[in-house]
Amino acid sequence: MDATHKIMVAVAFTEYSAELLDYAAGIADSIGAEMIVVNIINSRDVEAVGTIAAMGYELDSKQYVSGIEAERRLALEKMLEKISFPAERIRSVFKVGHPVEELLRIALKENVNLIVMGIKGRSDLEHMLVGSVAEKVFRRSPIPILSYRDTKNAERLKKHIGIK
């Protein structure tokens, strides 16, 4: 088995993202791996902005993307300040596209050895209607994936199983 040298962390900037990032950093640090933090701006959202702009509203897809990316970069910087991980071993990648396809494309292009991602980015209703990015990545990825359970969801799942 090859040693793990690159860990990709898929961050959706939910309330669980800081905990996920801290967890992945702990793994990467313990094995001396590089960490690549990836966020995908969903092209569906960008297309929706374009549709609204076509109706005559003052919106611009490029401005939307640059604004979202700037906001997320700032949020990532704040999260990274709170973890103990060498800055020279961490990179961030922001892309626009279909989240599942882009995450897998980046992982393969970067020769990632492990993907770490959470199970929850959407509400349960949204998951039932459109499915989960994590679920689709798990089914399609040729790269091992570590499914992270944040504290809140871990407790919810334990109660669901009947463990208090």
**Residue 119, amino acid:** I
Range of the domain at 89: 6-161
Total domains present in the chain? 1
Domain with 17 in it: what CATH number?
Answer: 3.40.50.620
Under 8 Å between Cβ of 93 and 36: yes
Q: Is residue 131 part of a domain?
A: yes
* Span 47-75, pLDDT tens digits: 766 665 555 556 667 787 888 999 999 99
Cα–Cα distance, 25 to 19 (Å, whole number): 10
* Span 2-52, pLDDT tens digits: 667 999 999 999 888 999 999 999 999 999 999 999 999 988 877 766 665
Q: Is residue 36 part of a domain?
A: yes
Q: Is residue 1 part of a domain?
A: no
Using CA atoms in the order 83, 22, 68, 99, what is the torsion angle rounded to 10 degrees?
A: 150
Whole-model pTM over 0.85: no
Cα–Cα distance, 13 to 10 (Å, whole number): 9
Q: Is residue 47 part of a domain?
A: yes
